[in-house]
Each structure stands twice: as C-alpha cells, then as structure tokens.
C-alpha cells in the first residue's frame, strides 16, 4: 500500500488556511501531506504560518513529505549569481527540520542561455554538489524535479527524467535524488517503465496527476492500475504526492487513487 500525500496548496482548500487543510486531510484519513514553498516567497503569495502548521501536523500525527526550495532555481539569469539560492537553502532546511519534512524539491530553472546542453547539465551537477556539501549532516534529501515543457513549464531546462538521473549520478550523494512526476513524464511522452528502470535507486520521491488536464486520477486517460504497478515493479515504496488540480471536491477527487493505492 502506498502512502498518499495530498498537496495542501491544491487539495482540501475548502477547509481554509494551510493548518486547517492538514486537519481536513487527516479527518479524511490521510497521514501525510505535501506543500509548495514553506513561506510563500514564490508560491503561494501569502506566507504560511509555520507555527500553526507545525501545531496541526503534531496534533494530527500527519507527516509532511516534501516542500519546495525557495527561491525556485532560475540559474540562467545574469550574472549567474546563486548566492540567494544557497542562502535560502539554509533557511529551507531549518524549516524542513522544524516541520519534520525529509525532502526539499529543487529544479533546474531555465538553464544557462547560449550554453551547450551538456555543459548546462554539468553545471547543475556542480551547483547541487555545493548545495549538498552546504547542508551536510542535516538529514534532508534534495529531490530534483524534471518538468514538462510542452504544457506547463515552457522554457525549463530539465524536462527529461534521464537527464535528471544524469545530474543525480553526478552529484553522487545518498541525500540527492530525482523526483519522478508521473504527470510530467506522461506529458513528455516518456515510457514510464523504461525511465524508472534507467533511474535505478535514484528516485527520491514521486508525484502524480492525470493527463491530459493535470486533474485527479480518473479525470484523464492514464491507466492508474498500470502506472502504480509499474512503480511498484520498479521498487519504489515511498510516499506519493497528490499534486493535481481537482475537478471536484477534494474528498471525492481522491477516491480512485486511494482505492488503487491499497493494493498497489
């Protein structure tokens, strides 16, 4: 059975503020949630009340499985000064430790304009080797997310699972891996089984949404029995973030994936 973690930016918004969404998710039977930026520097616009969020997590026994790095990585912007990313990384790690969150999701941004792709990927390796050295001993894992450029993130550098795996192999740390998002991979037309086989044990986290549309499982055309079967066959047994835009009320939108996760 997979542990499912509703994204509280998108799900259980009917309950109100973020801490109330945690309680609503717990009341609906979930023991985990995920979120985007911890303070709202990038998204959402309104900063989170971290004390209230921690209280809700502790009160309900809910685990926070992942949060985003702030600021989101935009490494191509001249003069390629990454100091703000590294500075905020320390803050993000402190927040993750406060909230009991084991993972911070990072990205590639739009790359380094005018450079060959291989050079850009190697530069990402350097950036994240430095980041891992900086947070050494924290116990926090950085999960690198490739995203689709066909629909949601045009212009992003990292849009292929295999290239994220290349970067992760280059960083070469047990605290650095790949976030495999079933939705982004499907939109890019990837073969899920082949990508997971190529990633080996580097998958640090998984998220999902249906395609097309990025709604809840059952709203698009993906076969979720098949997808969860592929995931299990690949050896992944960690949590799965439900990062989708619901087309119906939150509790109803999770029905299919919860049913399938029980036997996956």
Q: Which residues on adjacent β-strands are paired with residue 106?
A: 144
Residue tagged active-site, from 188, 190, 216, 243: 243
Query: Given the DSSP bridges, would you call strands 67-68 and 4-6 parallel, antiparallel or unpaired?
Result: unpaired
47 preceded by a cis bond (ω within 30 of 0): no
**Residue 59 designated active-site:** no
Answer for the pair 56, 100: CB distance below 8 angstroms, yes or no: no
Answer for the pair 188, 148: CB distance below 8 angstroms, yes or no: yes
Residues 6 or more apart whose Cβ sits within 8 Å of residue 41: 47, 70, 71, 88
Answer for the pair 34, 62: CB distance below 8 angstroms, yes or no: no
Q: What tokens does 4 get?
A: 């499912």
Residue tagged active-site, from 9, 34, 70, 145: 145
Residues 6 or more apart whose Cβ sits within 8 Å of residue 9: 35, 36, 43, 44
**Residue 145 designated active-site:** yes
Q: Which residues are catalytic?
A: 145, 243
């Amino acid at each position: 059975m997979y542990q499912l973690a509703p994204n509280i930016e998108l799900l259980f918004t009917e309950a109100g503020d973020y801490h109330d969404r945690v309680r609503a998710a717990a009341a609906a039977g979930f023991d985990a949630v995920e979120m985007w930026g911890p303070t709202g520097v990038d998204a959402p616009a309104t900063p989170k009340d971290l004390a209230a969020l921690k209280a809700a997590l502790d009160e309900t026994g809910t685990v926070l499985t992942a949060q985003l790095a702030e600021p989101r990585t935009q490494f191509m912007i001249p003069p390629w000064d990454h100091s703000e990313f590294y500075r905020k990384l320390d803050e993000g790690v402190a927040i993750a430790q406060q909230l009991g969150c084991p993972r911070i999701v990072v990205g590639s941004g739009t790359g380094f304009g005018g450079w060959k792709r291989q050079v850009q990927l190697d530069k990402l390796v350097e950036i994240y080797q430095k980041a891992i050295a900086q947070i050494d001993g924290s116990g926090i894992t950085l999960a690198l997310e490739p995203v689709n450029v066909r629909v949601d993130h045009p212009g992003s550098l990292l849009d292929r699972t295999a290239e994220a795996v290349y970067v992760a192999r280059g960083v070469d740390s047990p605290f650095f891996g790949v976030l495999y998002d079933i939705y982004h991979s499907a939109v890019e037309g990837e073969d899920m089984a082949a990508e997971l086989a190529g990633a080996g044990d580097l998958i640090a986290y998984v998220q999902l949404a249906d395609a097309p549309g990025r709604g809840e499982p059952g709203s698009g055309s993906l076969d979720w029995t098949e997808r969860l079967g592929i995931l299990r066959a690949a050896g992944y047994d960690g949590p799965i973030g439900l990062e989708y835009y619901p087309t119906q009320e939150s509790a109803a939108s999770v029905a299919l994936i919860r049913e399938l996760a029980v036997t996956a």
